[in-house]
Amino acid sequence: MRNILYAPIVKTGDAEMRGLGNLTDEDKDGITPIFELTRSRKSSRIPQGDISKRLAKLKDVFGDRHFILDLTSDRNSINEQIEKLLDNRNGYSNWIDFLVLLKNDFSKLVPTIQITDKEVKTEEEVYNRVKAQVELLDKHFAEVVYRFPLEHEYYKIDLGHITKKISIDKLICMIDAGFITQNKSGIYITKAKSIIANIKKYGVKRIIVSATSFPSYPTQFGNDKEGEINLEECLFYNGAKEDKTNVNFIYGDYATIYPKRSDQAGGNGWVPRIDMPTEDALFYYRSRKSKQELTFVNAYARVAKLVVGDQRYNKINKKIKDCWGIGQIELAAEGAPEGLSPSFWISVRMNIHMTIRKKML
């Protein structure tokens, strides 16, 4: 079985692809992302967006490395193409055909199992379609992932059917806790331990434990100018994996992204902010653009100077080298930020976080 250390969940949006694409080749080689396929930007020429554009970008930034492919469940990021891939008729034949064709460009692709009861009247028919899908995935791929939310009530039923149609050594289970708010990881750990104990009964040897604590609005855990967020996902993983008997636990997170996409305000509708991940937390500084400032350059420069002057930044800067995100903060601190949008600084945050996590695992 291939050893996986870090499996960040990454949507195929512009900010995410920029953050991941600017990792070093060594760091890319050391991670196995779970890519959630999304539509491309809508335009007058392509009003629904096009997943082929996202796949082309994925090939460009990540090459032919190992990754896990899933379909986004975010309604804001789905188009008709993704809806068709989720069609459960004929054993999810659209999904299977799509994956087999993708192997021409992504030979190390690891697919996820899709499960939906849309337009299916009985439980028996739901699982007949799922089992047909799994049988074909087992035929065409060396590894397959069963991903389910922590609160999913039917994971044991799912596994009962899935494990009848696939070699157990090929199966990776992924427990996705989604968002964990501050100081609540203990509740999730208790639930995850119970689930893990049940999963082990099926003989599963690899389990991804994933969550995020990055909120939709970071200021809810700080103030207007600065704040700090504990990385509850790290506590969740460490607590859930205490019993290591016969199981390879894999650390997963959302690479400091809130699970549900929210559109950033445009025009003058945002306050320049830079987030700086550390090994067990993330801190931020913000500074509003004054009415006299025509651009956001000075505001981002002010914020970056506060970040680089923070001892928490200096501790991380000494530990990681060749980090694009760190370089962007330092350029901004010198008064020459390369990006002046929230999207750009999401990329910076993700890039630093993934660099740190890869180095730690």
Least confident of 33-37, 95-99, 256-260, 310-314: 256-260
- pLDDT given for residue 294 in this prediction: 87
Positive or negative, the Cα torsion across 112, 176, 4, 22? Answer: positive
Q: How far apart are CA 137 and CA 222, in angstroms?
A: 46
Q: How far apart are CA 283 and CA 285, in angstroms?
A: 7
Who wins on pLDDT, 264 or 79?
79
Mean pLDDT of 93-107: 95
For the chain, the domains span 6-253, 273-360
pLDDT of 171 over the 70 cut: yes
pLDDT of 82 over the 90 cut: no
Its pTM stands at 0.94
C-alpha angle 62-236-29 in degrees, rounded to nearest 5: 20
Q: How far apart are CA 137 and CA 133, in angstroms?
A: 6
Q: How many Cβ atoms are within 10 Å of 267's Cβ, its own excluded?
A: 5
In this prediction, residue 41 has a pLDDT band, given cuts at 50, 70 and 90, of low
Mean pLDDT of 288-316: 94
Q: Which amino acid type is present at position 78?
A: I
Fold type of domain 6-253: TIM Barrel (3.20.20)
Least confident of 121-130, 254-263, 322-331: 254-263
Mean pLDDT of 68-87: 82
| DSSP alpha helix (H) spans, the chain | 14-21, 25-29, 51-62, 80-85, 89-102, 123-140, 155-162, 185-200, 232-240, 297-308, 311-319, 324-333, 342-360
pLDDT of 86 over the 80 cut: yes
Mean pLDDT of 288-306: 93
Spatial neighbors of 269 by CB under 8 A, at least 6 apart, are none
Tens digit of each residue's pLDDT (9 = 90 or more) over 112-149: 999 998 888 899 999 999 999 999 999 999 999 999 99
Least confident of 78-87, 98-107, 200-209, 235-244: 78-87
- pLDDT given for residue 40 in this prediction: 56
Q: How far apart are CA 287 and CA 54, in angstroms?
A: 33
